Structure 1
Amino acid sequence: MADKQISLPAKLINGGIAGLIGVTCVFPIDLAKTRLQNQQNGQRMYTSMSDCLIKTIRSEGYFGMYRGAAVNLTLVTPEKAIKLAANDFFRHQLSKDGQQLTLLKEMLAGCGAGTCQVIVTTPMEMLKIQLQDAGRLAAQRKILSAQAQLSGQGSAQPSVEAPATPRPTATQLTRDLLRSRGIAGLYKGLGATLLRDVPFSIVYFPLFANLNELGRPAPGEKSPFYVSFLAGCVAGSAAAVAVNPCDGHLLRIPGLWAGEGRVAPAKILRNEGPSAFLKGAYCRALVIAPLFGIAQVVYFLGIAETLLGLPRIQP
């Protein structure tokens, strides 16, 4: 492998295609995960993932399940492209001695991949979370308004329904943040994002590589597509559950922009107990498992290499 060179443009294209296909398939589950994790005690609107999706369809229509999808697709394209390509790049650099990568080197490659991805995608991650949670906040305001009208039905004056508050768009959110907080506002939660995505990559990539290796028919041959899919699902689920406490804390940070105040880990533990850090873990696993399974299959098919007429190198 030492005499072979990888094509970063081809890897970036493959990662982008993989992310687009994967996120399109699992976005509704990701939306349910975000809304479940953002619920706090006393403000619970959804009891489960299925309950969240059903209520979302009833209140926002079918396409309500894809609220924020445009931002997410814009996010996932560079995220998966950078993460998958950077991991390949670092693995290639660390294996130039011709020897098989050790577990430590595999973890270092994953760490580098996660760090590169976070720097580019943190602003879009924050916007995606805000847009996904906008429907929950709008529905919550609607319920509070209905309760206020019911309590005032005994008065002589007829109740007047308040006009619906328009939901913010990605452009509006970006403009407001830049005006009020500058570029730094788009990087709110960078530390929490690093704490989530870097450990995720450290766990995911070595685990995927070793599981995928088990399915190789012979040395030098690539694993069948179903092996890559299953390896991506298993490794993604394991890594997702491992870093879920950091993911849950990250989703609380955008509440500061809406005036809800920052929710620190100690406060979450005190008010909601240890189980709060696992809130949405099964939803996150359901999102990440097929997302990375599909992404790895598309990525390892080498679509870009085929289009560009380049040899595909199995890492």
Structure 2
Amino acid sequence: MIREDDPRFHITPFQQMASACSGALITSLFMTPLDVVKIRLQAQQKALLSNKCYLYCNGLMEHLCPCGETAWIPRRVHFHGTMDAFYKIAKLEGVPALWSGLSPTLVLALPCTVIYFVSYEQLRFKMKNFYNQISGNMSQPMWIPLIAGATARMTAVTIVSPLELIRTKMQSKHLTYGEISTALRHVIRYEGYRGLFRGLGSTLLRDVPFSGIYWTTFESTKRLFNRPDSEKNTFLFNFFCGSVAGSIAAFLTLPFDVIKTHQQIELGEKEIYTDGKTQQRASNMQDIARNIYRNHGFKGLFTGLLPRIFKVAPACAIMIATFEYGKQFFRQYNIQKYKEKMQRHQEFVVIGKSKSNDFS
């Protein structure tokens, strides 16, 4: 009898990569139109501001947008709300305009997503096996997803960090992909290799706790409903657990996100409006936090709570539900392949015995 939890059927890293890519693609396809509409409305509200930037995120990657550079928005069109923006963008610019920015998102965010999810799965699986061997307990303690999630996010963010400044340049100066190497040499020339990792500290401070809390909450929610086995959970159940985990993690790490957003905008403005020739650095995290607290109090560190939850929860839910569904698909595929292999082996044995009897 074949047990579905047999380690022989555990999906391979390549299959995990395929699942992560599918999840990232579907997440970006669903979330990008919502954020395109949001950025158009924001740009319309801030059109009178100059030399200012703001961020938006389509579920996979943050985009830095200069308010003064809104040439891609028809000046004669005025949006009167979300649905009006959907209608006018689709009518005047075509339906594909609702997916503006999807290409750079997939090119730059897919590597980070793949590294992140594959690293998490590999770390969690190895730590769980090690714990089971030394303790004899087949359950999974909560510190495993906490450590695996934090470590995987730290690895992915650090590896992809050099692309952050390049992405800012691409968005602001309309660089082609062929000019990326030139931009890299430009940064290294003026700031050295350390310049490729500007803002890494604040990114880690936000993303690593978020990831640890997210995966711990995701696994805890499944256990709360007595359904810890991912291979047997439905798409909707994983979607629910992902949205709960994303909401809780987004709430607990919001102060780090506020600080990170301030620092990234400041870095972006210096990068965009000084043409990258200045060696000024953004304020450190402590100064930004003190400034926010001095001007807005403690609640200033929780600015944008509801928009962040409404953005993060569905993105996390779609991503994890699709990823888990992909894992289930490949696991069943591996089981089916194993059954076919065993059936062919059994047929070969039967044929061999039949021929042996004929000779005797």
Seen in structure 2, the aligned counterparts of structure 1 residues 2 and 45 have a Cα distance that, compared at 3 Å, is closer
Q: Aligned-pair distance for 1:205?
A: 0.5
Q: Does 1:254 align with 2:260?
A: no
Q: What is the match of residue 20 of structure 2?
A: 15
Secondary structure at the residue paired with 2:161?
Answer: helix
Q: Aligned-pair distance for 1:129?
A: 5.7
* Matched-pair contact (CA < 8 Å) for 1:244–1:281: yes
What is the rounded CA distance, in whole Å, between the counterparts of 1:35 and 1:124 in structure 2?
Answer: 28
* Matched-pair contact (CA < 8 Å) for 1:255–1:262: no
Q: Does 1:206 align with 2:216?
A: yes
* Matched-pair contact (CA < 8 Å) for 1:29–1:283: no
Q: Does 1:95 align with 2:101?
A: no
* Matched-pair contact (CA < 8 Å) for 2:11–2:331: no
* Matched-pair contact (CA < 8 Å) for 1:71–1:127: no
Seen in structure 2, the aligned counterparts of structure 1 residues 185 and 78 have a Cα distance that, compared at 3 Å, is same
Residue by residue over 1:190-220, the C-alpha shift from the partner in whole angstroms, topping out at 9 and shown as x without a partner, is 1111112111111000111121334566968
Q: What is the match of residue 147 of structure 2?
A: 108
Gaps of 5+ in 2: 58-78, 275-279, 337-360
* Matched-pair contact (CA < 8 Å) for 1:196–1:243: yes
Q: What is the match of residue 203 of structure 2?
A: 193
Secondary structure at the residue paired with 1:192?
Answer: helix
* Matched-pair contact (CA < 8 Å) for 1:18–1:298: yes
Q: What is the match of residue 283 of structure 1?
A: 307
Larger of the two Rg values belongs to structure: 2
Secondary structure at the residue paired with 2:139?
Answer: coil
Query: Partner amino acid for 2:218?
Result: F
* Matched-pair contact (CA < 8 Å) for 1:22–1:295: yes
1:1-315 to structure 2, matched below 5 A, reads 3-4=7-8, 5-30=10-35, 32=38, 66-96=99-129, 97=132, 98-128=137-167, 134=172, 167-169=173-175, 171=177, 175-181=182-188, 183-215=193-225, 222-250=232-260, 251-252=264-265, 253-258=267-272, 259=274, 262-265=282-285, 266-267=287-288, 268-269=291-292, 270-271=294-295, 273-302=297-326, 306=330, 309-311=333-335
User: What TM-score does the superposition give when structure 2 sets the normalisation length?
Assistant: 0.61
User: What TM-score does the superposition give when structure 1 sets the normalisation length?
Assistant: 0.69
Secondary structure at the residue paired with 1:101?
Answer: coil
Does 1 or 2 have the higher relative contact order (CA < 8 Å, sep 6+)? 1
Secondary structure at the residue paired with 1:299?
Answer: helix
Q: Aligned-pair distance for 1:237?
A: 1.8
What is the rounded CA distance, in whole Å, between the counterparts of 1:307 and 1:298 in structure 2?
Answer: 14
Q: Aligned-pair distance for 1:180?
A: 3.5
Query: Partner amino acid for 2:175?
Result: T
What is the rounded CA distance, in whole Å, between the counterparts of 1:189 and 1:274 in structure 2?
Answer: 23
Seen in structure 2, the aligned counterparts of structure 1 residues 261 and 118 have a Cα distance that, compared at 3 Å, is closer
Query: Partner amino acid for 1:223?
Result: N
Seen in structure 2, the aligned counterparts of structure 1 residues 45 and 110 have a Cα distance that, compared at 3 Å, is closer
What is the rounded CA distance, in whole Å, between the counterparts of 1:90 and 1:178 in structure 2?
Answer: 34
The CA RMSD measured in Å over matched residues stands at 4.2
Indicate the percent of aligned positions where both proteins have the same amino acid.
22
Which one is further off, 275-284 or 87-96? 275-284
Q: Aligned-pair distance for 1:303?
A: 6.2
Which one is further off, 62-71 or 97-106? 62-71
Secondary structure at the residue paired with 1:102?
Answer: coil
Which one is further off, 170-179 or 230-239? 170-179
Query: Partner amino acid for 1:288?
Result: V
Secondary structure at the residue paired with 1:100?
Answer: coil
What is the rounded CA distance, in whole Å, between the counterparts of 1:35 and 1:286 in structure 2?
Answer: 17
Gaps of 5+ in 1: 135-166
Residue by residue over 1:150-191, the C-alpha shift from the partner in whole angstroms, topping out at 9 and shown as x without a partner, is xxxxxxxxxxxxxxxxx5236457633531345544322111
